[in-house]
Structure formats: structure tokens, C-alpha cells
Amino acid sequence: MKYLALIPARFASTRFPGKPLALLGGRPIIEHVYRHVAACVADTYVATDDERIYTAVEAFGGKAVMTSTAHRSGTDRCREAMEHIGGAYDVVINVQGDEPFVSGAQITALQTCFDDPQTEIATLAQPFTPEMGLEALTNPNSPKVVTDCRGFALYFSRSVIPFVRGKAEASWLTEHRYLKHIGLYAYRADALRRIADLPEGQLEHAESLEQLRWLENGLRIRVGLTHLSTIGTDTPQDLEKAEAYLTTHPTLN
């Protein structure tokens, strides 16, 4: 199977303008993401709408492609980038440009999902553990996912799903294996073309979760499991935490 890895990255951000070029361990965040992904997928590109990001990627020896400034999401940006790059790719992997510690094991877990021919889209989830605490489980900024017995997504929500009837909420993490959605995606090329043309769905509008649009339209989303946590850099405060993490894990730089 032939893979293309794309890293959507835009300069404009309400919470953290210029985020892809912010320095982490002396290197731009986007360079960390690129090097981790490119170590697993030979055809890796940054898909950006900003010349500064494009120039920075070329400066560290990476590959980049310019895309429109009008895209609603990273998924839409990936679709345009795939068309610009060309080539007969079977699967497109989408890694967010603010995930400097994405691992090879996570990329492999996504790829493995496509061993099942019914998989149209793949994503990852991490089991919540009792040690994470109820606050982590109930956090609406940490979407949850439930799957069928074959590992295909049934629903994603910012609410706690499922509700464990007859048990105290404080005990839910020991009564059921909850899954935290990790926002890494991979799509069969035809599926990526299809979802980029879909209008916003009612469930997506209610939860503000793009992947619900795909479920509403009948696409099969396979959920791979990972036990590795990701450390995003959505805000300058997140970057401080990432710097502290890098200090204790210098091999990741």
C-alpha cells in the first residue's frame, strides 16, 4: 500500500498565532512533527497557506506544498495538497502540525487499520485509566469515542459515553473502558475526496467534531488503539509544558 503523509499547518491561529514556527528545543514545532512523520513515511509534506512556513520547512530540508487560505479544516487542506502532489496514493495520513511528539508507533497503528478492506478512514484512541481521574474523563475538550465489536466507530462525543447506569459516576472508570479520541487520521484517497465535498452535518454542528460528518454520511471509521499520550501545543502554555517534557526526553529533539 502506498502512503502519503500530510501535515496541515497554518500561520493564523486565534490562541497561538505563528504556532508552527514557535521554537521547541531550539527548533520550530513544525520541524519536530515533520521529522517524526518522515521517519515512518517517505512521502511526507507540510501543507500550508503561508510562505513563512513553506520557507522554514524547505530550510530544514523538508518538503512542503502551498494550499488555499480558505480551507475550513485540515482535512480540506489535505485534499487540495493530495491533488497538487499527484501520484497514485492508496492512503493519506493526516498529522496535525501542533503534535511535536507524534510517534512512529502511532503512525503504524493507523496504517494497520487498513489491513481491513472495509476501513475507509482510520483514527486512534487511548484508553482512559483510573489514574487519569474523573476530571480527565469529563473534560469536554477531550472527545470520547465508542466502537463496535470490530473496532469501527459508532459515535464521538465531548460528553462521557457511555453512561453507566446504576453506578456512581466516581466509579465509572473502573466499570467500563472509556476511549479518549486522539486526533490523528488516515483516509483512503477516494474517501478523502468524498468527505471534502460533504456539507456540515447536524451532529457535527452540535458537538463541533468534524468526524461526525463522516459518520452521518455512512463512512466506516476504524479506531486503532494506542497507549501513548500526545502533547499538543495549542497555546503558549502548552508549549511551556512541551519544553519541560523535552527536557526529560532529550532523544525526542
User: Residue 72: its pLDDT value, please?
Assistant: 82
Say if residue 162's pLDDT is above 90. Answer: yes
Number of domains in the chain: 2
Top mean-pLDDT range of 12-21, 67-76, 213-222: 213-222
Q: Record the cell numbers describing residue 51, joined without a space.
A: 510562505
What's the Cα-to-Cα distance from 155 to each of 120, 167, 221, rounded to whole Å? 16, 22, 10
Look at residue 249 and tell me if it is in a domain.
no
CA terminus-to-terminus distance, the chain: 30
Average pLDDT on 93-110 reads 94
Average pLDDT on 71-89 reads 92
Say if residue 232's pLDDT is above 90. Answer: no
Residue predicted with more confidence, 105 or 247: 105
User: Residue 235: its pLDDT value, please?
Assistant: 85
User: At which residue does the C-alpha cell 487542506 appear?
Assistant: 77
Is 213 in the same domain as 115? Answer: yes
Is 145 in the same domain as 222? Answer: yes
User: Residue 87: its pLDDT value, please?
Assistant: 86
Say if residue 6's pLDDT is above 80. Answer: yes
Question: CB-based contacts of 100: which residues, under 8 Å, 6+ apart?
Answer: 24, 29, 32, 33, 36, 231, 233, 242, 252
User: At which residue does the C-alpha cell 477516494 appear?
Assistant: 190
**Which residue range(s) make up the domain with 77?**
1-100
Query: Which of 77, 62, 103, 47 is closest to 231 using CA atoms?
Result: 103
Say if residue 139's pLDDT is above 90. Answer: yes
Query: Mean pLDDT over all residues of the chain?
Result: 94
Look at residue 125 and tell me if it is in a domain.
yes
Least confident of 95-104, 144-153, 233-242: 233-242
CA angle 133, 139, 143 (to 5 degrees): 110
Is 118 in the same domain as 221? Answer: yes
Q: pLDDT digit string (tens) for 171-210?
A: 999 999 999 999 999 999 999 999 989 999 999 999 999 9
Q: What is the DSSP letter of 162?
A: S
Is 92 in the same domain as 163? Answer: no
pTM above 0.75, yes or no: yes
CATH number for 10:
3.90.550.10
What pLDDT band is residue 247 in, cutting at 50, 70 and 90? confident
Is 108 in the same domain as 4? Answer: no
Strands (E), 76-220: 91-94, 121-127, 144-147, 153-157, 179-188
Identify the burial level of 100 via C-beta atoms within 10 angstroms of its C-beta, where 0-12 means exposed, 13-18 middle and 19 or more buried.
Answer: buried
> Rounded to whole angstroms, how far apart are CA atoms 31 and 72?
24
Average pLDDT on 48-62 reads 96
Q: What is the DSSP letter of 169?
A: G
Least confident of 45-49, 50-54, 177-181, 232-236: 232-236
Say if residue 13's pLDDT is above 90. Answer: no
- Amino acid symbol at 120: E
Least confident of 103-112, 137-146, 228-237: 228-237
Look at residue 149 and tell me if it is in a domain.
yes
Q: What is the DSSP letter of 42?
A: S
